[in-house]
Amino acid sequence: MSQDFFAKHEATLKGALDAIATRGFWSAYPEAPSGRLYGETAAVDGEAAFKARLDKPFGLNQPATKAMIGAEMSPFGFALGITYPSPDIDGLMQAAQAALPAWRKAGPQARAGVCLEILHRLNRRSFEIAHAVQHTTGQAFVMAFQAGGPHAQDRGLEAVAYGYRAMAEVPAHSHWQKPQGKADPLRMDKDYHIVGQGVALMVGCSTFPTWNGYPGLFASLVTGNAVVLKPHPGAILPLAITAEIARDVLAEAGLPEDVVLLATDSAEAPLTKELALRPEVKIIDFTGSSAFGSWLEANARQARTYAEKAGINFIVIESVADIKAVTRNLAFSLSLYSGQMCTTPQNIFVPKAGIKAGDGHLSFDEVAAAIAGAVGKFNADPERAVEVLGAVQAQATCDRLEQARSLGKVLLESRSITHPAFANARVRTPLILAVEAKDAAVFTKELFGPISFVIAAESGRSAIEQATRSAKEHGALTAGVYSTDPAFLAAAEDLCIDAGVALSENLDGGVFVNQSAAFSDYHGTGANPAANAALCDSAFVAERFRVVQVRRHSA
């Protein structure tokens, strides 16, 4: 049965394998929330499916359930009212362990087939998942559809492709024949068995439960591990739907459903530490705070942790051809999902003496005003603004926004916007502050949310030096540099490479520094404190399995 899944999706896998070899544009799952692509009734059906989930227990038939819990609140202002299975951890681990031998023996092809079928079904359910992502993360609908649906599925498929390629590079058998001069050669037959590491724990985040979660989930699955999904208590539904689909596909393939298990907890009684310390857990994928990521690395020593933690992303504006194009681009980057992306720029460095702009010159204040003005204008129309800003996931972010006002000179106030469709939604526009280079104590902390600094630097050179020094010390996932000087760009490249931060140069069109495209852009590098791994490369999958050999004299 599972071989059918492989055959059914072999062309998709082939496309993904080609894509990771060239890393040009490629996508398996259409990003437009369109009836033409997803079926005329898909939008209506998806919304209905989401609404049917509300205010009742989530029917996930899995073992070792101790209680049904859940207290998700939509950032758009209502309680989801869904409860999910919270596990007896001993029982959960037993179930996961028991599922491992059959999952290993199914082999790489069958496992890839199962993963591809799960992704296919997730894709067909993208509208339902979009609502689930919107009403847990606060992303506006179209973003929730794209980032939570097809883009996340592409990232999952990318992980399947890397895992499959890594396993395919290990021959299943070899014949070893060593010459012995005039005597008969020595002859051995050898089998190489791919063995998963054991149980993998995927710790989800509240802002991108699927986009940040699927790479680890699918990398672990395809390489032969069982996966426990531990969602953030505020964003359970997207991963619960994922677990439901995965378990269905496994059962249809005649494989143990318990290869994928959901472990729900609450903010009051978190389970992550206990799960992470279990000896059965050999792999942890985590997206979240630096403090907790470091705790995992320091304590869950029986496991390999792939952690994306906090970073402080930066922009350096040294010179521009067209300030309007630059600030239009930045306005979108700063506004998108109210700055709640791990890739949103926080620190914008501008030389205090101003910059060359086209044939003219702009003072620091003029550049700062241009940025603030562009962001203000971008969010002027509330109806349009909410479709980019979405809602703020956590009240703590609103509180932080409030407190941050005093950290610098306010260039643009954050406004609260009333959502036309959701009266109780937490909607906030970006806050932009001016500070000086010496105020590093203020801006070298991550201020998660729509909070940015325009920093008056000594010079372009000192700006890029300070920014990359901060990236080395505090981490950064993204960097943007604006310069019309090739020598400056070359120097910036060297410093960014040294700081291990992905660099975007002179983005002034329809590509944004905080967006990374699966199959082409690596998300994170693993080379600075913001993350110890990249989505997705060979290093992300290589240690999720081991090879055990058996050899004997040839018959």
Secondary structure of 114-163 in HEC code, one letter for each residue? HHHHHHHHHHHCHHHHHHHHHHHHCCCHHHHHHHHCHHHHHHHHHHHHHH
Contact 391, 419 (CB under 8 A): yes
3-state DSSP assignment of residue 289:
coil
How many CA atoms within 13 Å lie on the side-chain side of 2? 25
Please choose, out of 19-27, 152-160, 265-273, 345-353, the segment that lies near a copy of itself by the rule CB under 8 A.
19-27
Residue 451 CB, nearest approach to a copy of itself (Å):
26
Give yes or no for residue 389 binding a copy of itself (CB under 8 A).
no
Give yes or no for residue 551 binding a copy of itself (CB under 8 A).
yes
Residue 66 vs 551, nearer CB to a copy of itself? 551
Neighbours of 28 (CB within 10 A): 24
Q: What single DSSP character describes residue 206? A: S
Residue 531 CB, nearest approach to a copy of itself (Å):
10
Query: What contacts 175, CB < 8 A, 6 or more positions away?
Result: 187, 188, 189, 190, 554
Contact 427, 419 (CB under 8 A): yes
According to CB under 8 A, which one of 174, 299, 395, 416 is a site residue for a copy of itself?
174
Instruction: Scan residues 79-108 and list those touching a copy of itself (CB under 8 A).
Output: 101, 104
Neighbours of 400 (CB within 10 A): 17
Please choose, out of 36-44, 142-150, 243-251, 515-523, the segment that lies near a copy of itself by the rule CB under 8 A.
515-523
Contact 219, 159 (CB under 8 A): yes
Distance CA 200, CA 506 (A): 40
Please choose, out of 20-28, 153-161, 239-247, 420-428, the segment that lies near a copy of itself by the rule CB under 8 A.
20-28
According to CB under 8 A, which one of 7, 251, 396, 548 is a site residue for a copy of itself?
548
Residue 89 vs 195, nearer CB to a copy of itself? 195
Query: What contacts 427, CB < 8 A, 6 or more positions away?
Result: 338, 385, 386, 389, 390, 391, 392, 416, 417, 418, 419
Residue 22 vs 41, nearer CB to a copy of itself? 22
Residue 264 vs 516, nearer CB to a copy of itself? 516
Residue 504 CB, nearest approach to a copy of itself (Å):
5
Residue 365 vs 498, nearer CB to a copy of itself? 498
Give yes or no for residue 420 binding a copy of itself (CB under 8 A).
no
According to CB under 8 A, which one of 124, 131, 170, 241 is a site residue for a copy of itself?
170
Give yes or no for residue 525 binding a copy of itself (CB under 8 A).
yes
Give yes or no for residue 543 binding a copy of itself (CB under 8 A).
yes
CA distance readout (Å), 212 to 65, 218, 260, 447, 506 = 26, 11, 17, 20, 27
Which is it for strands 73-74 and 78-79: parallel, antiparallel or unpaired? Answer: antiparallel
Give yes or no for residue 469 binding a copy of itself (CB under 8 A).
no
Q: Which chain residues interact with a copy of itself by CB under 8 A?
A: 21-25, 101, 104, 165-166, 169-171, 174-178, 180, 186, 188, 190, 192-193, 195, 197, 297-298, 301, 493, 496-498, 500-511, 517, 520-522, 525-527, 534, 537-539, 542-543, 546-553
